[in-house]
């Protein structure tokens, strides 16, 4: 009897877990749809901005900037920003990003390069605290980063980079490729890598476009305005893709958890039925044995 009661309690607990994970799956699906629309809507803007930078650069011969060419003098220090989530239950999302970040930081240390570590997300804070690694700054933007907040972070990065504090600034985050594929990546934010494509067709197309544009103000003045804007857009895109990846991986994880709970519930139901049948059989045997003893 005690075994049957225990199984019934476990069945109730599994049903509760299945309801919770199903609800979390539905919430993650709604957030994923919203985040994906936000990320996708910003891609045409980023592509157009990139195209403008390339055209302005082609018109500004001899243009030099630390944002593109790198610092005049190396200082042997980098800034690394690791973007994770505030919440867990999203599969291997945080683990993959943090593992990539830790390996890269160890590689910097092995090469004798100093670094400042900045993070975004509570999971990153807990992880690096466990690793006993110093975090210079933490950014709490949530899963809906605004352009204003990201722009302020990027502006601070540009200022510190231009002041010669760092040789490079890199972002370690999850890159969203498709709903079935997300990969952690190490992206160089500064100095920028906006060199024209080596593909001949792209080069010819670029030369054709040059004949259609006259720049006013000059290409150099435009680049002074466009380059910081491009950096801010790239950082915002990294945050957006991280948010999309988090939600899709949580949605998949909660779907798998719901299916596992239902499967386990079916197993418990079978165990319950066997235990109940065994109890009924035992009781019938006792009744028959008692009746036979009275005859």
Tokens representing residue 128 in the block: 């690096």
Burial class (CB in 10 A: 0-12, 13-18, 19+), 155: middle
pLDDT tens-digit profile of 56-96? Answer: 777 777 778 888 888 878 899 999 999 999 998 998 999 99
The pTM score is 0.82
pLDDT tens-digit profile of 21-50? Answer: 999 999 999 999 988 888 888 888 888 887
| pLDDT given for residue 81 in this prediction | 96
Which residues make Cβ contacts (< 8 Å) with residue 67, sequence separation at least 6?
Answer: 158, 161, 162, 190, 191, 192, 227, 228, 231
Ranges of each domain in the chain: 2-18+253-289, 26-251
| pLDDT given for residue 285 in this prediction | 84
Segment among 133-147, 163-177, 185-199, 267-281 with least mean pLDDT: 185-199
**Considering only the top CATH level, what class is 26-251?**
alpha beta
C-alpha distances in Å from residue 157, one per residue of 37, 74, 80, 220, 291: 27, 17, 11, 22, 89
CATH of domain 2-18+253-289: 1.10.287
Question: Is residue 204 within 8 Å of residue 271, measured between CB atoms?
Answer: no
């Amino acid at each position: 009897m005690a075994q049957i009661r225990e199984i019934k309690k476990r069945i109730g607990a599994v049903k509760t877990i299945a309801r919770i994970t199903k609800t979390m799956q539905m919430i993650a699906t709604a957030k994923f749809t919203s985040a994906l629309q936000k990320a996708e809507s910003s891609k045409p803007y980023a592509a157009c901005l990139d195209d403008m930078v390339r055209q302005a650069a082609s018109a500004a011969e001899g243009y030099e900037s630390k944002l593109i060419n790198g610092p005049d003098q190396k200082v042997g220090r980098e800034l690394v920003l690791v973007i994770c989530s505030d919440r867990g239950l999203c599969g291997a999302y945080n683990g993959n990003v943090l593992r990539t970040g830790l390996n890269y930081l160890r590689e910097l240390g092995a090469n004798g390069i100093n670094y400042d570590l900045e993070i975004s997300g509570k999971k990153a804070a807990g992880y690096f605290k466990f690793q006993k690694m110093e975090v210079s700054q933490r950014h709490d933007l949530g899963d809906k980063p605004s352009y204003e907040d990201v722009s302020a972070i990027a502006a601070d990065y540009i200022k510190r980079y231009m002041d010669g504090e760092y040789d490079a600034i890199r972002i370690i985050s999850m890159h969203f490729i498709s709903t079935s594929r997300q990969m952690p990546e190490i992206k160089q934010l500064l100095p920028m890598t906006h060199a024209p494509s080596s593909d001949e067709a792209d080069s010819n197309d670029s030369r054709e476009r040059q004949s259609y544009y006259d720049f006013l103000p000059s290409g150099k003045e435009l680049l002074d305005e466009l380059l910081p804007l491009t950096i801010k857009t790239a950082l915002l895109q990294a945050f957006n893709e991280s948010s999309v990846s988090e939600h899709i991986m949580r949605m998949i994880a909660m779907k798998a958890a719901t299916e596992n709970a239902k499967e386990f519930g079916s197993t418990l139901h079978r165990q319950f039925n066997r235990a109940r049948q065994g109890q009924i059989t035992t009781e019938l045997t006792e009744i028959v044995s008692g009746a036979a003893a009275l005859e």
